[in-house]
Amino acid sequence: MVEERLNATPTQVKRWRGLLADERAEAGFYRTLAARHEGEDREILSAIADAEERHISHWADLLGDEAGEVGRGSYRLRLLGWLSRWFGSVFILALAQRAETRSPYSVDPDATPAMAADERVHEEVLRGLAARGRARVSGTFRAAVFGANDGLVSNLALILGVSAGGVAPEVVLLTGIAGLLAGALSMAAGEYISIRSQRELLEASEPSSDAARVLPDLDVDANELALVYRARGMPAAAAQAHADEVLAGSSQSLEHPGGGEANGEDIVGSARGAAMWSFLSFGLGAMVPILPFLFGLTGIAALALGIVLAGAALLTTGAISGILSGGPPLLRGLRQLGIGAAAALITYLLGLAVGVTLG
């Protein structure tokens, strides 16, 4: 360490100070995040913070007396720490997972292989923690994101198509409001039916409580109970062994061992919650393109502002979706924007063609 310090260039020292500041910020972030959790999640996050402390020691030892004034870490890490105080754990864990993928230690000549391995493992640990939250919010999040995107794209396309037909601004506004209400109600109804249907399909596959009550009357020499487990995917020998345990009284469940009890609401979310979020998000999304008309703008100015607002909203929802899914936010946002712009352009051209034909 001493020899490396003596031979270090000013550029190296500056980089070490930056990495030391980043590690201190990361350790503080994980300590803060751990304090907001309980049980095993708190222990896991605290263990990650301990690993960051080891990295702090590495850079501090390299710097020695050259440490001097160390900053507060990169802007990205400071922003992550600030967001952790205000937003839910799923969003923050997804951001932290994304941050761990940017670790420079795999190519940094002054970082040890163990440090690079730590960062890679941290990414997988955070992926696992975030997966629990993603499973819990998947139904609601899907409804909210799809609803907002549908509202933005469909109402933007609708008012562009109507405007291209040459109708009055009042008609454009009325059409936009009608599209908002009709689409929001349709989305909510469709989401409710979809979630309810998924839950009913899952419930239909759960073991019947009536069948469990007849276990004491089964013939121990017959194999009917083993067939239940074989039908759920167990090998014949394992199915027979588990059937023998059940009939001997050590277990009273018809569920596949280790399969757990299915819970439709945990898996697909709440039908009412998804319907509500779908209605609200579609309504908010559909409101964006007609805001200029609501504030009195007309003509090209209203359409141009509506397009800009809708584009910004599409970029935002796409980026949020990318963050929560662990993907690149900018690319997801641009993909969302591109799809929405293509749909709006096609509708505008069709409306223009219809307007010319009818005119």
Structural domains counted in the chain: 3
What integer is the mean pLDDT of 318-343?
82
Residue 316's domain spans which residues?
A: 138-202+267-358
In this structure, the answer to whether residues 211 and 230 fall within a common structural domain is yes
In this structure, the answer to whether residues 190 and 319 fall within a common structural domain is yes
In this structure, the answer to whether residues 167 and 219 fall within a common structural domain is no
Domain boundary among 244, 261, 278: 261
Domain boundary among 134, 157, 181: 134
In this structure, the answer to whether residues 156 and 235 fall within a common structural domain is no
Higher-pLDDT residue of 8, 292: 292
In this structure, the answer to whether residues 283 and 154 fall within a common structural domain is yes
In this structure, the answer to whether residues 273 and 233 fall within a common structural domain is no
C-alpha separations of 107 from 103, 104, 208, 214, 283 in Å? 9, 6, 56, 64, 48
Buried b (16+ CB within 10 A) or exposed e, 113-149: eebbebbeebbebbbebbeebbeebebbbbbbbbbbb
Residue 312 pLDDT: 93
Higher-pLDDT residue of 287, 347: 287
pTM of the model: 0.59
Closest CA to 191 of 145, 155, 229, 156: 145
In this structure, the answer to whether residues 225 and 332 fall within a common structural domain is no
In this structure, the answer to whether residues 225 and 354 fall within a common structural domain is no
| Contacts (Cβ under 8 Å, ≥6 apart) of 297 | 305
Residue 151, helix vs strand vs coil? helix
* Tokens matching residue 93: 């864990």
- In the chain, % of residues over pLDDT 90: 13
Reported as a pLDDT band with limits 50, 70 and 90, residue 4 is low
Reported as a pLDDT band with limits 50, 70 and 90, residue 244 is confident
Half-sphere exposure of 170 (CA within 13 A, CB side): 0
In this structure, the answer to whether residues 79 and 168 fall within a common structural domain is no
In this structure, the answer to whether residues 33 and 116 fall within a common structural domain is yes
In this structure, the answer to whether residues 39 and 145 fall within a common structural domain is no
Mean pLDDT, the chain, as a whole number? 78
| Contacts (Cβ under 8 Å, ≥6 apart) of 353 | none
Q: Is the pLDDT of residue 305 over 80?
A: yes
Residue 237 pLDDT: 83
In this structure, the answer to whether residues 212 and 244 fall within a common structural domain is yes
Reported as a pLDDT band with limits 50, 70 and 90, residue 264 is very low
The pLDDT tens digits of the residues spanning 139-193 come to 566 667 778 888 998 899 888 888 877 788 888 889 999 999 998 998 888 878 8
**Alpha helix segments (H runs only) across 165-270:** 169-205, 209-213, 224-231, 236-248, 264-268
Q: What's 112's DSSP letter?
A: -
Higher-pLDDT residue of 350, 312: 312
Q: Is the pLDDT of residue 235 over 80?
A: yes
| Contacts (Cβ under 8 Å, ≥6 apart) of 64 | 1, 2, 5
Closest CA to 19 of 115, 89, 88: 115
